[in-house]
Structure formats: structure tokens, C-alpha cells
Amino acid sequence: MTGKEDEYEFEKTEKSSSLDEESTGSEVNEQKESYLDIINIIGSLMQDENYSLKNESILTINKILSFLNKEIYENKNFTEAWLIKGTVLYKTGKYNGAIDAFDGALESMSEKTSEEKLDTWIKSYGINYRYALKFKAFSLCKLGRYREALNALDEISAIYPEDPEIESHKNMLQTLENERLIRRTGNTQDQPPKHPGIWERRGKSSYKLGKYEEAVKEFDRCLESNPKDADILRNKGSALYMLGRYEEAIEAFNKSLELNPRDADAWNLKGSTLYMIGRPEEALRALDKALQRNPNIFEAWFNKGSILFELGKYKQALSAVENALRINAEDINALTLKTSILSGLKQDEK
């Protein structure tokens, strides 16, 4: 199930502030200056719901979210900021956070009014209302919460009763929900497989499909039989990371590393997770341990460079990103980061 339309543009409300190209004032201009590298991305997301973020670095994603969080902090009713935040989280696999953001967008809009004034309400809020509910439904679907997703789409149908795209999504969700109910009735989920490896394969399959909530449950089933499987604990941590459940992810990585302290991938994932919750120094230590065990992990070098750059340690950041480029000389994110680091070094020299 995807969220695709040929063309989409958020309906701008009077609440728009620094995301609006016509905003004025020195404070807004200064704010834009400090975020020039992400303004274009935000603009693209506002214009096209299919705009991809898959090639953007963690640093860029975090800057976008930081910018949007500041906007929301200053104006809780800034609908477009909520919508873009939800979109970014959805496109980066943080489905629980996306649901919360889309709920924030819905709360920022006036409640639906009487039938006589419904047309006026739809003209003011309809586009954003539909978008928030649709992508909330997509996020719920990714988590396997099909009934709740159907309820969200039903809310769209209440004001757009002949929307073919929404009806198509509802039919698909109903099929998935029916299959889930059949499995539950047959107690297939409650019957443990004869071999725990089956749960491991199911977990990996669910992870690849983006069904991270299901993956966590399946990895937990595997751990019931073998609680000291370091690889399964690492995989569970990775799924929790994708769900935005960072503290739980770190706990899983810690357990995995207790069993296998030489696992470079687990150290790398732990470092990325620590970075996401604002613990950069600990993240750097974890990434260094990953690189001590395997100096050829591109993501570890890149993330280390991103963190050092954010901390203003440009010379160390440059060394890290050059190591990343040694592994993949054509990676656009690493090349962009190197350019930013060199710019920072020039500023320091002045």
C-alpha cells in the first residue's frame, strides 16, 4: 500500500509562517538563512507527496525535523508544519511518530461544523484533512493496525464519499484485516513453530516489507526459545529503531553486545540510535567501536563525520568523511557533507 497521487500541494492556511515564501521580518529571514540547505526539500515535500527522502542523510533529516519542531513549538496550530513532519517521519519509517504528527495536524484544524456550513469547512481544511488522514492510515497499515487505518479512511469518505483512490485503499485494507482475523481465528499466531528459526525468517521477512511492529513480535517469539541469540537481539533493535522506539532499541543492542561484543554492525546501529536521541558523544564512542572491528562500514564513517560536523569539529569530521568516500567515492550525501565541512573549515580560518 503506497501513498501516491499524480500531483498534490498542501492547502496553505493563514497559520503558515516561515515556510511561506511570502513571509517577512528579519527573524524569519535569519531563520531561513540558517536552514537554506533544507528549505528546498521542505518546499518539494509541500508540492509533491511522492518526493523521495531515501537519498537524504540522517543529518539532513534531523535538520528538517528540528526546523519543523521549532515552527510547531512557536505555533501549535501550524497545520502545514505538522503535515510535513508527519510526511518526513513516514518516509523515513518512523510510523508511530508519523501518526502522532498527523494527529497534531488534525487537532490544529477547526472541528467539522454543521451540514449547512460543511462546504465552507471543506474549502478551508478539506485538502489538509484528507492528506493527514490518508497518511495516518498508511502509517497504521505499516504497523499492521488495519482496523484503525480503515477507520481513518472512513473519516475521509464521510466528506469525500466518491473518492476512488480512498475506496481502493479501503478495499485493500479490508482484505488485509480479513486475513488477519482468519489467522487469529485459526490461532495460527498462538501456535509456536516447531523450530524457532521459522520465527526468525518471519521476522526478517516482515522487516524487509516495512512491517516493523510485526517483525519485533516475531523476533520476540524467537527469543522465547533462544534468549541469548545476539543476532536476533540486534535485528530486534534495528526494527525498534525503525519504529522510533530508540530507548528500547538501545536496550536490545546492549543485550546483543553483551553476548557478542565484537559485532561491528550492532555497535554501528547503537551509535546511530544514540545520535537520534541527542547523545552525540556516546554515539561517537559506539561508532568508534564499530570501526575498530570493521573499518569498512560506510555508514559508520559517514555518521561519525555528520556528528563531528554538527559538533563543530571540522578537521575530525573531514577525516571521517574522507574514509567514507574511500569506501564509496560517489555517494552524493558524503560528497555534500564534505563540501559543508570544508566550508566550515574556511569560516574557522577567517
* pLDDT digit string, tens, across residues 44-96: 777 777 888 877 777 788 888 888 888 898 899 999 989 999 999 998 888 99
Q: Alpha-carbon torsion 180, 185, 190, 196, what sign?
A: negative
Contact 215, 203 (CB under 8 A): yes
Q: Residue 144 to residues 149, 176, 207: CA-CA distances in angstroms? A: 9, 9, 12
Contact 199, 218 (CB under 8 A): yes
Contact 128, 79 (CB under 8 A): yes
- For residue 76, which of 150, 15, 10, 11 has the smallest C-alpha distance? 15
CATH top class, domain 26-184: mainly alpha
Consecutive H or E run containing 118: helix 118-142
* Percentage of residues of the chain with pLDDT beyond 90: 32
Q: Is residue 173 very low, low, confident or very high in pLDDT (cuts 50, 70, 90)?
A: confident
Q: Do 26-184 and 193-349 share a fold?
A: yes
The predicted model gives 253-272 an average pLDDT of 94
CATH top class, domain 193-349: mainly alpha
Query: Which cell numbers in the block locate residue 210?
Result: 516495512
- For residue 238, which of 259, 262, 275, 266 has the smallest C-alpha distance? 266
Residue with cell 553483551: 258
**pLDDT of residue 186 exceeding 60:** no
**pLDDT of residue 26 exceeding 90:** no
Q: Alpha-carbon torsion 290, 295, 300, 304, what sign?
A: positive
- With H, G, I as helix, E, B as strand and everything else as coil, classify residue 3: coil
**pLDDT of residue 266 exceeding 90:** yes
Q: How far apart are CA 295 and CA 293, in angstroms?
A: 7
Q: pTM of the prediction?
A: 0.50
pLDDT at position 194: 43
Residue with cell 524569519: 28
pLDDT at position 306: 92
Rg (CA), the chain: 22
Q: Which amino acid is at 76?
A: K
Query: Which cell numbers in the block locate residue 16?
Result: 503558515
pLDDT tens per residue across span 82-141: 999 999 999 888 899 999 999 999 998 887 665 657 778 888 888 888 999 999 999 998
pLDDT tens per residue across span 191-234: 444 444 565 677 677 777 778 888 888 888 888 877 888 988 99
Q: How far apart are CA 274 and CA 296, in angstroms?
A: 21
- With H, G, I as helix, E, B as strand and everything else as coil, classify residue 113: coil
Query: Which cell numbers in the block locate residue 329?
Result: 567515492
Buried b (16+ CB within 10 A) or exposed e, 304-321: bbbbbbeeebbebbbebb
**In the chain, where the domains are located:** 26-184, 193-349
- With H, G, I as helix, E, B as strand and everything else as coil, classify residue 300: helix
pLDDT at position 168: 87
SS3 content of the chain, % helix, strand, coil (to 5): 75, 0, 25
**pLDDT of residue 8 exceeding 50:** no
Is 290 exposed, middle or buried, given 0-12, 13-18 or 19+ CB atoms closer than 10 A? Answer: buried
- For residue 261, which of 230, 287, 228, 236 has the smallest C-alpha distance? 230
Q: Calculate the average pLDDT of the chain.
A: 81
